[in-house]
């Protein structure tokens, strides 16, 4: 199904268009406690929201659970939701992923729309129809692909974000630049994340979303080119899981930023990715995200975590690599020894 991703100019009329197009019998809005306080007020006075039944869950990825999902399903049921209702998810990736899954499964599926409020969810999570929850310690273990009716990206919400969450989303933009073209990457590497120019950021978000939208439209179920979006994530997810298990949880985008460095090292050594670009990205990551600390004693654990990534088959560790900026090589199997070398490179960089 074609994505309908709108870069918002007037959220009131865009929401009205969604409602006019779906003509729901009932309208539900899902927020978490944070977006209820910080983001809902921007939307609450929109006339078509007057009839909205509110559902609120706890914030952060820790709430992306079966219990929260049960609460959403129960609220939909108690509120009389049918297959002709709509759920509008207002929040970060946790809310849009969980809300998308709740809507996709309630009575075998009702419409949903996403209004992402974090940079990470604008450029990545809310677009592309991946929905789900975490389960038994594994991220996004249960879920379905199901495209939202509409995604409305209103970059005014970015002003409610702290510096860490801006950086976290920005790592996905950096990834989109790397899989896209030299000019986009150069612009991203020059952007000053300490003094965010929100007007410039809005324009960059729009182009970043277009990169994802194009790829997802071509390969919605990740059989091929959508794997390009995994750049930085094979190592990044392993860093994220290791950090979580040691009680030093890091934001997703930070893990992706750290993961880009060893993965671009692999790209340089195996596919001829230019070392100058590797060094530029590495310097940007170091300056803006710092360093992820681990020792060679963690290597086996990290490699095991990479092996269990749900994008692998038969225990072979597959990476998305690049031969150049925008020159994507998917399904690159890499041996544990080569991964260890890339981890050495990251630690010594
Ligand atoms: N976050 C990567 C994807 O949507 O495929």
Check which CATH number belongs to the domain holding 312 and give it. 1.20.1090.10
End-to-end CA distance of the chain: 43
Q: Do 10 and 153 sit in the same domain of this protein?
A: yes
Q: Which of ligand 1's atoms lies nearest the C-alpha of 127?
A: 4
Angle at 147 between CA 85 and CA 326, to 5 degrees: 160
Shared domain for 144 and 248, answered yes or no, is no
- pLDDT band of residue 287 (cuts 50, 70, 90) is very high
Q: Are residues 341 and 284 in the same domain?
A: yes
- 191-205 burial string, b = 16+ CB within 10 Å, else e? beeeebeeeebbebb
pLDDT of 136 > 90? The answer is no
> Is the CB of 252 inside a 6 Å radius of any atom of ligand 1?
no
Torsion region of 290: left, alpha or beta (phi above 0 gives left; psi -120 to 50 gives alpha)? left
- If we measure between CA atoms, which residue out of 282, 285, 269 comes closest to residue 340? 269
Residues 274 and 308 in one domain: yes
Looking at residue 2, what is its pLDDT? Answer: 66
Q: Which of 291, 177, 293 is nearest to 231 (CA)?
A: 177
Cβ partners under 8 Å of residue 327, min gap 6: none
* Residue that the structure tokens 């509008």 belong to: 88
Residues 88, 39: one domain? yes
Do 307 and 239 fall into the same domain?
A: yes
**Can you give the residue range of the structural domain that contains 263?**
163-348
- Ligand 1 centroid, distance to 142 Cα (angstroms): 15
Q: Is 71 in the pocket of ligand 1 (CB under 6 A)?
A: no
Listed residue (297, 279, 288, 301) closest to 346, CA to CA: 279
User: Which of 124, 144, 213, 214 has most ligand 1 atoms within 8 Å of CB, for mutation?
Assistant: 124
233 lines ligand 1 (CB under 6 A): no
**Do 186 and 115 belong together in one domain?**
no
Residue closest via CA to ligand 1's atom 2 equals: 229
Q: Residue 326: its pLDDT value, please?
A: 98
pLDDT tens figures, 210-250:
999 999 999 999 999 999 999 999 999 999 999 989 999 89
The Cα 164–Cα 263 span in angstroms is 23
pLDDT recorded at residue 312: 77
> Which distant-in-sequence residues (6+ apart) come within 8 Å of 334 by Cβ?
266, 270, 317, 318, 319, 342
Using a 6 Å cutoff on CB, does residue 127 contact ligand 1? no
Residues 6+ apart with CB under 8 A from 68: 57, 58, 98, 133
Ligand 1 atom, smallest distance to 172 CA: 1
Q: How far is the CA of 312 from the centre of ligand 1 (A)?
A: 15
Q: Are residues 339 and 231 in the same domain?
A: yes
End-of-domain residue from the set 139, 160, 181: 160
Domains held by the chain: number? 2
Name the helix (H) or strand (E) containing 176.
helix 163-178
CB atoms within 10 A of CB 230: 22
Domain co-membership, 198 together with 122: no
The pLDDT value recorded for residue 327 is 98
What is the average per-residue pLDDT within 9-29? 97
272 in helix, strand or coil?
A: coil
Confidence band, pLDDT 50/70/90 cuts, at residue 137: confident
What is the DSSP code string of 211-243? Answer: HHHHHHHH-TT-SSGGGGGGTTHHHHHHHHHHH
Q: Please report the pLDDT score of residue 142 as a whole number.
A: 96
pLDDT at residue 259 tops 80: yes
User: For residue 229, how many C-alpha atoms fall within 13 Å in the half-sphere facing its CB?
Assistant: 27
Q: Let me know whether 229 and 329 are in one domain.
A: yes
| 155 and 181 inside one domain | no
- In the structure, what pLDDT confidence band is assigned to residue 314 with cuts at 50, 70 and 90? confident
Query: pTM of whole model > 0.75?
Result: yes
pLDDT at 272: 98
Q: Strands (DSSP E) along 58-154, which ranges?
A: 86-91, 111-116, 133-135, 138-142, 150-153
The Å distance, Cα 229 to ligand 1 centre, comes to 6
Indicate whether 71 pLDDT > 70. Answer: yes
pLDDT value of residue 1: 57
Mean pLDDT for 170-183 is 98
Average pLDDT over every residue of 262-266: 98
Residue whose CA lies nearest to ligand 1 atom number 5: 229
User: Which parts of the chain are beta strand (E)?
Assistant: 5-7, 27-32, 53-57, 86-91, 111-116, 133-135, 138-142, 150-153, 318-324, 327-333
Interval 80-109: pLDDT, tens = 999 999 999 999 999 999 999 999 999 999
Between 179 and 62, where is the model more confident?
A: 179
pLDDT exceeds 90 at position 190: yes
């Amino acid at each position: 199904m074609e994505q309908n991703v709108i870069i918002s100019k007037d959220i009131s009329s865009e929401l009205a268009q969604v409602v006019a197009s779906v003509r729901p019998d009932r309208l539900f809005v899902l927020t978490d406690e944070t977006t209820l306080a910080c983001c809902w007020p921007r939307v609450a006075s929109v006339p078509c929201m007057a009839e909205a039944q509110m559902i609120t869950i706890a914030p952060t990825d820790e709430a992306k659970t079966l219990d929260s999902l049960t609460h959403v399903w129960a609220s939909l049921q108690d509120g009389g939701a049918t297959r002709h209702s709509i759920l509008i998810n207002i929040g970060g990736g946790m809310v849009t992923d969980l809300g998308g899954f709740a809507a996709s499964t309630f009575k075998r599926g009702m419409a949903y729309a996403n209004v992402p409020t974090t940079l990470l969810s604008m450029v990545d999570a809310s677009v592309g129809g991946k929905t789900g929850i975490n389960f038994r310690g594994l991220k996004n273990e249960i879920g379905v692909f199901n495209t939202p009716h509409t995604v409305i990206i209103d970059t005014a919400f970015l002003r409610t974000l702290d510096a860490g969450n801006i950086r976290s989303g920005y790592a996905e933009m950096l990834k989109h630049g790397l899989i896209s073209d030299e000019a986009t990457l150069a612009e991203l590497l020059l952007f000053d994340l300490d003094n965010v120019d929100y007007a410039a950021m809005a324009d960059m978000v729009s182009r970043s979303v277009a990169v994802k939208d194009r790829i997802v439209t071509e390969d919605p179920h990740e059989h091929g080119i959508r794997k390009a979006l995994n750049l930085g994530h094979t190592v990044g997810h392993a860093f994220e899981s290791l950090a979580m298990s040691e009680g030093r949880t890091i934001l997703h985008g930070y893990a992706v930023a750290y993961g880009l460095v060893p993965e671009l090292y692999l790209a340089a050594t195996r596919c001829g990715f230019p070392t100058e670009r590797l060094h530029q990205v590495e310097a940007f990551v170091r300056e803006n995200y710092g360093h992820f600390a681990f020792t060679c004693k963690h290597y086996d654990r990290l490699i095991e975590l990479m092996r269990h990534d749900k994008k692998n088959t038969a225990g072979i560790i597959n990476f998305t690599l690049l031969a150049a900026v925008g020159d994507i090589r998917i399904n690159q199997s890499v041996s544990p020894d080569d991964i260890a070398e890339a981890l050495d490179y990251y630690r010594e960089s």
